[in-house]
Structure formats: C-alpha cells, structure tokens
Amino acid sequence: MNEEHQRRPHYSGSHPHTYEEKYKELQPEKYADTVEKVIAKGSTPAGMHLPIAVDEILDVLKIKSGESGIDCTLGYGGHTRAMLAKLDGQGHLCGLDVDSVNLARTAGMLREEGFGDDVFTPLHLNFSAVDEAAEKYGPFDFLLADLGVSSMQLDDPKRGFSWKREGPLDLRLDPASGMTAAQRLKTMECDELEGMLVTNADEPYAAEIAGAITAALKKGEPVNTTAQLRKLVEAGVKNALAHEERELHGDHRRKAEIEELVRGSCQRTFQALRIDINGEYEALQALLEKLPAVLREGGRAAFLTFHSGEDRIVKKELKRLHREGLLSEIPDDVTRPSAEEMERNPRARSAKLRWAIR
C-alpha cells in the first residue's frame, strides 16, 4: 500500500519563514539544489549543520587508514564523514553525542551511507565519559571535540536554544534528561544568576539582567519561553544604558546601537544558561583531564572552540598537560577557518582550533 501523500506546509508570501515551513531545507537528500542555494547565500539550511574547519582539522589529525579514533561531538556527522573517508574502510571511529535526537538521526544517515559496525560505532555519551569509550575502543590515534552547538539545535524552535525564535525555554543538549533553563532560573538568587552570566559569558550588563529576571519571577511573572526571557534581557540592558546616560549627562545612544547591544546580551545570556544547565565547562574539564589516558602515544587531538570561556579552558589545560610532560607538543597559537569559509558560513567566524600530541 502506498504511503499517504504528505502535503507541504502552507505559508504566506513567496518564501517559507518558520522552521516547519522550510520543508525543502529539512529534506536535503531530496532538494539538494535548494539547499545549495541557501548555503551560497551565506546561510545554514534549516535542519542541517555545516561542519567547520574540516580541512584544518584533517591537517592536524593526520588520519591514516587502519587507525582508531573518536569524534566526541557527532552532531550532523560532517566531521565524522571526513574522518571516515580518511580511514578508507579500515580501522574504527566512535561517534559520541549527548543529544539523543541528533545521535539517532545522524547514526541512521551514516548507516544508510554504508558505514557499518565494523568501522563506525555511535554512542549516547557525554564526552566527559570519554574514558568509557576508550575502555572498549581505545586507546585512540586521533580525537576531535567540536565544542559548538549544532545548527539543528539552534534552528529548531522547540529546543529553545535561540533567542531569535519563539519556543519553550529549554536549552538542554539532551532533551530527554535534566532540568530545563526555565526550571533552572526559578532556583537562582539574583547574585548567583549575575555570577553565572559573568563567568559563562562575560556579560557586561549581568547585574541589571539578573535583577530584571529575578524581579519578574518574584512577582509571579512567567519566564517559560525564549521570548519572555528575551524581553527581560532587553529591559535589563536598557535600564543599564539609561543609568550610564544619566552619568554622562544625557549622551543618548542611537536606536540601532541600543538594539545591537541588546542582541549581544541576548546571545550571551542564552549561552550562559545553556552552559550552566548542561554542565559544559565541567564536561570539558573532565575530557581534557582524561585526554592523555585515552590517546595512544603519538595520538593527536583537536579542539574546535566558539567562545572565549571554553577556549580559555582548552588553552590553559593543554598548557598544563604539556608542562607536566603528558603531552609532547601543543601549538603556539590558534588556527582559524579560511576567509572563504567564513564568508560562506558566518557561524565559522568565531571558531578557533587548538591541537595537541600525546
């Protein structure tokens, strides 16, 4: 019996706007031309993730056929495919992902592309438990940790990762476990929230934003959606700016400048909350501490970071491990994606690549 025909989503105007309406972008295997047009415009198609710094990572890892490796953040599988291609059907690669939704989708795609159990094993693990994978599949000749949030997570409004899209204030990397961002905010005092915004995102208006959020919660106002949190961040920033302008005797800022400051604070506030509820810094610290034990002598590791907090942790820990003689070589500076890649994929602009050799 034929499957019932699924009509495409209806939308007003000539182009789809919401995540669900972008049905062609959500089916890249069926509408490759549409997807390529979106990428050519410098955007990431809905439901996809464009791997960043692939050539630079492969140059660092120097993968050879027959080796054993681990991708600590499987995501959409872009880096994984490139590494599997280098293995050329020999050796083995583990793919970890704490996001059960991403893991099932990507593992399914890779299986359909012919990567069987003999060369690829997906594991529902946080990379803080990399030693558990190493017990069975290691020690590893190469390791990659792409620390960025995947575009599929950012773009899907139901996940609540983006302040730009209306949705539940969730922000969990694994939607099946843990406390949501909305639940976490209700447990925090003002000074704790302020400290989190500073530590996790270097937020300059942390005090005012924390004050606006906690005051709203104390009044019984709901902070359960991305839009509700965004409005409180905006209120906090504008309150801070009004105070600054009074101190500067009425040096009023232009509307566009205020909007830009609000956007930056929204991005940092959502980042700080995501890092907190997912324990991202703690997980990264655990991965780095276990790095020498899971790599084979001469094994290589690559870390792709996207904001200053995680990059500071990677830089500091690699230096410590090198100083203690647990790593034989680390770089003097970071490697960045090419100018062409940053033009094609704006999400690559904040990426920094660091590496190490056991």
**Domains identified in the chain and CATH numbers:** 1-39 (no CATH), 54-152+291-357 (3.40.50.150), 162-280 (1.10.150.170)
User: Tokens 């690549």 belong to which residue?
Assistant: 353
Q: Is the pLDDT of residue 178 over 60?
A: yes
| Tens of pLDDT, residues 296-334 | 999 999 999 998 899 999 999 999 999 999 999 999 999
pTM score, two decimals?
0.82
Rounded distance, CA 243 to CA 150, Å?
Answer: 37
Left, alpha or beta for 226 (phi > 0: left; psi -120 to 50: alpha)? alpha
Q: What is the mean pLDDT of the chain?
A: 86
Supply the Cα-derived Rg of the chain in whole angstroms: 22
pLDDT of residue 13: 55
Q: What is the pLDDT of residues 114-137, one digit of tens each?
A: 999 999 999 999 999 999 999 999
Q: Is the preceding omega at residue 139 within 30 degrees of 0, hence cis?
A: yes
| Among 273, 274, 280, residue whose Cα is nearest residue 128 | 280
pLDDT of residue 169: 95
| pLDDT for 210 beyond 60 | yes
Highest average pLDDT, of 40-49, 203-212, 241-250, comes from 203-212
252 pLDDT more than 90 = no
Per-residue model confidence (pLDDT) at position 272: 95
Does residue 265 have a pLDDT over 90?
yes
Residue 162 pLDDT: 81
